[in-house]
Every structure is written in structure tokens, then in C-alpha cells.
Chains A and B, each alone.
Chain A
């Protein structure tokens, strides 16, 4: 059975709309800026000797030839001048003309060319967001002041940098879990046209989830991501455009490697976290690639960053998942599909009953996923544990691996 009522909206004879990417060639330093933009950070190089911030990325300070380090910057700016590009030789921008851009004086010091929100004019104050463009590279977008957290989804330029949820079709794996249910509810509340709730076996009473799963626009679908056939069947039954896939499936079990190690549970963790991701990605990737705003969001444990003595198999499986996700992200970049990771520490659910707080409520995870999509952020940490783990891992991975399991 198809998950949605049959509707003939496409002329089968029409050529499919070809999707292009913005120019993608960048210097190594610019990739370093993009790596920070992926985390939602606006960082510029600052001279270690004289403290001057510089842009575009360089290899030496233009004031004193000192060495440069990346530092987060204030996001204020003043618009200096503007233009609307009406002619371009680039295929991506030709698809999106006219394109408004401008030049701003950053509060951080340098001037920068930016994508300009349609409401901004010269001399206006602006807020700069360092976002990722369709090619996955950092780009500065100037937005009006008093932009609340919400992105203006009616600005066609800005929509190119984010993943709108309203009116879209979303698949959520492991929708039976506390996290999955919260995500289904959040997608429904954010205006998704259809939320396909992937129901992992075994069938059992839904309890509190029944209300969410019977909401208008939510469709239950058998989906066992440890089973190739089940994944193929589920995605074929979506039977139409699929815009967003949110993979919340995981297999959390405590235990070490030799001490209290349970090989069956370890294998199960790999089958769901790592191989499950591959199965889902293989089946969904081509469907997402044809969409104007395709996205794949993966919920991943911050234990993926280093081993965990208490959850050894789980952490190892999540680490494998992270590696696969990074490869998948690279593959999907050519199709303009965003692959996003949302890192979390221990969750306030039945799997972490014996872990003391702080823990992250499923509802908060769902909120972070909505936020990641609508802000276009590639990597998000939800909760203090995940953020702390990420900060420490980025600062000194070897030290973090030691400290974490002391």
C-alpha cells in the first residue's frame, strides 16, 4: 500500500530539472573556515602576533606577517554597498537569478562580500551568519537585525542555505522509540506534509506514542533497518518524493569489551548503528538527490568521538556510524543533499536509566533536529555532555580519549 493518496502531479514526458552546485573550488584555509561553519561557528583567522582579524583566509597576517589562528568572531556588520546580479555564466546561479549580494564591514574588522537578505540596504546594520552553501562550503549571509532564531523561509536565496520542513515529506526511523516519537511529533508540528514513521519490530502496544502516531499527516510504516528487504520495501512504499530522512535508530547497551562484554549485543549495535545507516542511506540517497532541499539527518552519540569503557560496543558502533556518515556526506554533496549529524550524550530514556544526569530529553533532541534543518547546520551538539565532549575532542583528541575513561 502506498503511504499517500495517489496524485498525478508530474508530466512523465518532461525532462527532469537538472540541479547544479555553486562554484566549489576552495583553498585549504577556506576549507578550515567551512569546517567551522559546519558547526554553526563564524570564525576568522586572527594574527597570533598583532591580533588583527583577516579575510579572505590567508597564510600570513597582512599587517605584520605573523601566524594566523582561527577564532570565533562577533557577528555584527554594516552594509557598505549592494548589487543584484542579473547575469551569470555559472549554471547554479543562473538557476537562481536575480541574486542579491553586497559588501559589508564586519565588526570583526575586515570587509567581506556576502549574500544579502532582500530587506537590507547600504548603511544598514546586519547580522552575519556563516552558513554552508549547496556545495558544502562556508558562505557569509547578511541578515537584518532582530532576526529571531527563525529563518525567513520566504526568502528564496536564504532557502538555498537551509532545509525547510513545511510541506515536505519526512521519514523517521525507529519511530517507536522515545526519541523517534519526539521527532515525529516535532516534524508534524513544524508543518511537514507527511511524516512516515518507521516502525521497528517487534510489534507491541504503542502506549503514549499512539496519540502521536495517529496524528493527521503521520503514517506508520514497518521499517527494520537491520533488514535490507524491510528497508527497500518501506522506501518503495513512500511512493513519491522524499525530502528528509531522519535516522534515530540505535542500539544502546552497557558493557565493556572483555569485562561484561556481550558479543551478541555488540554485533546488534553494529548492525543497527553502522550497517543500518548504510542500508538506509543506500535506499534513500537516490530519492533525496532528486529533491530541491534533500537532507539526511543522523542522530549520533558523542561516544562516537572516542571509546567508552562503560558502553564499549555501543561507542564502537557509533564510531563506525560516524565514519560512514562522513563518507555519505561527501557522496551526497555532489547532489546538493545535506547530510547532517546531531550529537547527543546520554538520553532521558529507558536505555540510560542507570546513568546520572545531566541527560537530554527526547523532546530536546527533536527540537535540535528541527533547528539543525532550518538553520542549515551540518553538525549540532545537543545538551551539555555532547557539547563538552565535542569541545574537548576538538581541542585534544588524545587527551580526551584518556580522560573520558578515567
Chain B
């Protein structure tokens, strides 16, 4: 049993920015990172001299890492970190930056994810992803993540009696949420007939179970409440966080994620229950992972998610607003920024700065990350509960 987590007193999370996504971009990841900082400059008056901490995530910035990026962007941080963890990188950046600020290693940390997407870069990125993938995944049909998650989805549907209609309901709700988000790449309403009749990609995955790769950037600031106030920034506090990697390595198929290992302590540390959450921003590369998080984060007992999906309204005005910007399934997946948009959207909702419709009375957001298929499953998981500072 892990020790109880120390509180995040003295930490403020603020200034969520999203650089509008585009399907394909000829710009580099560096350009997208610059655009995110420019947006912070224009919206909250940030200058390079204000930044003494920098946390960076990207798949396409190579050969550069955070090292190249700080020189490229004119930063002189006294704390920095590079996160290669994709879909889990937003939550992980938040936790690392929060402790750095809390302990005085940095005063103001910019957490930033940026990725570009040229016409052929998805294929190239895929081909060099991991050693296990080269040895033991790609040679088997080269279906990419679609095939990996098709296998997980196939096993999950049979194990827990979840249907394509259940997954369809999640996708349709997220698309409805995207309708009010002007930055979402896909806003056309999705019907159940569209969803069920879509072309198969890797059975049982069909077209609308897949995200659209795109270019984009996301960023937010982690600092002290005093600095946030001085700069006039609305801020949120961190109630609790978890992260876990390579959980349950002996499970033959990933039917649960690392959240399950630590979730009880998470709610205890946060001092709230799932019922207190006003909006849920989970990683949504495929609907099966959304369903898995609803279970493993404690919103319903394992195995009952099908029933719960049928009884829940996941739209912005519903009883459990889910991925209120449309999520990656509707807004697009901008590489590692896809692992940040859950954090920025959760922040926006509780800071009352939404891109689209506001979740009524939102004060508490739960954001959850999931990333990096190294072999047959996502390795990295994390979650954080954020509450608006009054």
C-alpha cells in the first residue's frame, strides 16, 4: 500500500490554451509550440522571462527534446522535463509541475504539448514507435493502433457484455458536445445509424471509433496562487493525482487500466466522491478506453459499464458531462497534445472559459490520461481532480 499523497497546497493551475487544430500541417512541432506560447503571451501577457519551468511533450519534435526546445523558444528555466508519454502526458506534466512549484524548484511552469501532422507523418511515426511493436506487432497485419485496440475491444465486449450501440452512445454524445466547440474538426451530428453503418477498419473497430490525427498544440500554466492572483489569472487547485505504468502486466488482455490500482486512495486524498465531479475529461483514443475509465475511475462497478452507459446522459447538459470539447474522437488527435486537451478542457470548464458550451455550475473536473501502446496495451495511466479556486 502506497503512502498517502501529500496535499497540493500552494499550487495553482491556470491559463489553458489550445492552438486551433488542422488536419494536415506543413509547419513543424516547433512552430506549433511557438504558437501555443504566442497564445499565452497574447492572452495572459506571458514573456520568456516569466517562465522558469518548462515541461514538454511531443512525438514529432525530433531530433529535438525539451533541451532543443528551450533554446529554440528562448526560455531559461531552472526546471524542465520531457514527457514521451503521449496520452498520459498532460496529467503527468501537471503532477510534475505541481510538485516543482510547491517545493520551490520553479515559480511558473509552462506545460506544453505540440505535434504536427504532415500528409505521411502518421505512417512514419508508426513505423518507429517501439521495439516491441517492431518485433511483435507490426509484422502481424500492420493495422496500427486500430488493430491493437480492436483486439482489446473484442475481448472487452465479450467479457463485460458491452455492445457497439453502447460505444456508439459515447461517440454520439461526444460529437454532440463538439457541436458548440468551433475548434473541433468534426462537428457534423453523428447518428446511431451512421455509427453502426460506418466502414469496418479492424473488426469490431469501425470508422467512428477512430480519432482523426491532426496537428495542434495545448498548454497550461502551473504556478503559485499568489502569482496567479498577481497576474489576474483564474486558477484551479489540484485535489489529488495518480499515475501508474505497466499495471497488471499479467492480465492477458487489457480489460482494466492502471487507475484501478490507486483509485481508492485517489478519492480519499481528493476528499470527494465520483458523484461530486461536474465534468469528466477522459482520454478517448477509442471508445473502449472511455468505457474502461468510467469503470476504473470509480464511476461504476467493473462489468456494469454497459448498463451505466445506457442510463447516463454524457452531453454537456447531461448528468455526467463527458469530454465536453468533443474529445479527440470529434476534436481530433494532435499527437501528444491529445494527452493535454483533457487537462485544458477540464480547466476551461471549471474556470468558466469554455471553447463551446459551459457545463452548468462546473466546479470540479476529473481529467484522466492513458498513453503509449508499447506492445499490446497502453502502458501509462494517470488522473487528476481539479477544483476551481474561489
Residues of A within 8 A of B (CB): 22-23, 25-27, 29-30, 55-57, 62, 80-90, 92-93, 99-103, 105, 111-115, 122, 133, 135, 137, 139
In the complex, the answer to whether B253 meets A103 with C-beta atoms within 8 Å is: yes
In the complex, the answer to whether A90 meets B252 with C-beta atoms within 8 Å is: no
In the complex, the answer to whether A82 meets B154 with C-beta atoms within 8 Å is: yes
List 16 A-B pairs, Cβ < 8 Å. Answer: A22-B142, A27-B134, A80-B253, A81-B151, A81-B253, A83-B202, A85-B147, A86-B202, A87-B143, A87-B201, A87-B202, A88-B143, A89-B126, A99-B143, A103-B376, A135-B139
In the complex, the answer to whether B203 meets A86 with C-beta atoms within 8 Å is: yes
In the complex, the answer to whether A122 meets B144 with C-beta atoms within 8 Å is: no
Report the Cα distance A80→B140, complex, angstroms. Answer: 16
Report the Cα distance A57→B139, complex, angstroms. Answer: 14
In the complex, the answer to whether A26 meets B134 with C-beta atoms within 8 Å is: yes
In the complex, the answer to whether B142 meets A30 with C-beta atoms within 8 Å is: no
In the complex, the answer to whether A102 meets B151 with C-beta atoms within 8 Å is: yes
Q: B158 an interface residue at 8 Å Cβ cutoff?
A: yes
Report the Cα distance A84→B147, complex, angstroms. Answer: 8
Q: Which residue of B lies closest to A115 (CB)?
A: B140
In the complex, the answer to whether B142 meets A82 with C-beta atoms within 8 Å is: no
In the complex, the answer to whether B147 meets A83 with C-beta atoms within 8 Å is: yes
In the complex, the answer to whether B142 meets A89 with C-beta atoms within 8 Å is: yes
In the complex, the answer to whether A88 meets B141 with C-beta atoms within 8 Å is: yes
Residues of chain B with a CB closer than 8 A to A115's CB: 140-141
Interface residues on B, range: 35 or more
In the complex, the answer to whether B151 meets A103 with C-beta atoms within 8 Å is: yes
A-B pairs with CB below 8 Å: how many? 119
In the complex, the answer to whether A101 meets B126 with C-beta atoms within 8 Å is: no
Report the Cα distance A25→B127, complex, angstroms. Answer: 9
Closest 6 A-B residue pairs measured CB to CB?
A90-B142, A85-B143, A83-B150, A56-B136, A85-B141, A99-B141
Residues 121-135 of B contacting A (Cβ, < 8 Å): 122-123, 126-128, 131-132, 134-135
Q: B48 an interface residue at 8 Å Cβ cutoff?
A: no
Report the minimum CB–CB distance from B26 to chain A (whole Å).
20
Residues of chain A with a CB closer than 8 A to B127's CB: 23, 25
Q: Which of A81, A92, A113 contacts B136 (CB 8 A)?
A: A113
Q: Which of A57, A89, A101 contacts B140 (CB 8 A)?
A: A101
Identify 20 new A-B residue pairs, CB closer than 8 A, beyond the known A81-B151, A111-B376: A25-B127, A27-B131, A27-B134, A57-B135, A80-B155, A81-B154, A83-B150, A83-B154, A83-B204, A84-B200, A86-B203, A87-B143, A99-B140, A101-B147, A103-B155, A113-B137, A113-B376, A114-B140, A115-B141, A137-B139
Q: Which residue of A lies closest to B206 (CB)?
A: A86
Report the minimum CB–CB distance from B304 to chain A (whole Å).
21
In the complex, the answer to whether B142 meets A88 with C-beta atoms within 8 Å is: yes
In the complex, the answer to whether B134 meets A101 with C-beta atoms within 8 Å is: no
Q: B205 an interface residue at 8 Å Cβ cutoff?
A: yes
Q: Which of A25, A82, A89, A103 contacts B252 (CB 8 A)?
A: A103
Residues of chain B with a CB closer than 8 A to A82's CB: 151, 154, 203
Q: Which residue of B lies closest to A25 (CB)?
A: B134
Q: Which residue of A lies closest to B156 (CB)?
A: A81
Q: B24 an interface residue at 8 Å Cβ cutoff?
A: no
Report the minimum CB–CB distance from A401 to chain B (whole Å).
34
Most B CB within 10 A of own CB, among A62, A81, A99:
A81
Report the minimum CB–CB distance from A109 to chain B (whole Å).
10
Q: Which residue of A lies closest to B136 (CB)?
A: A56
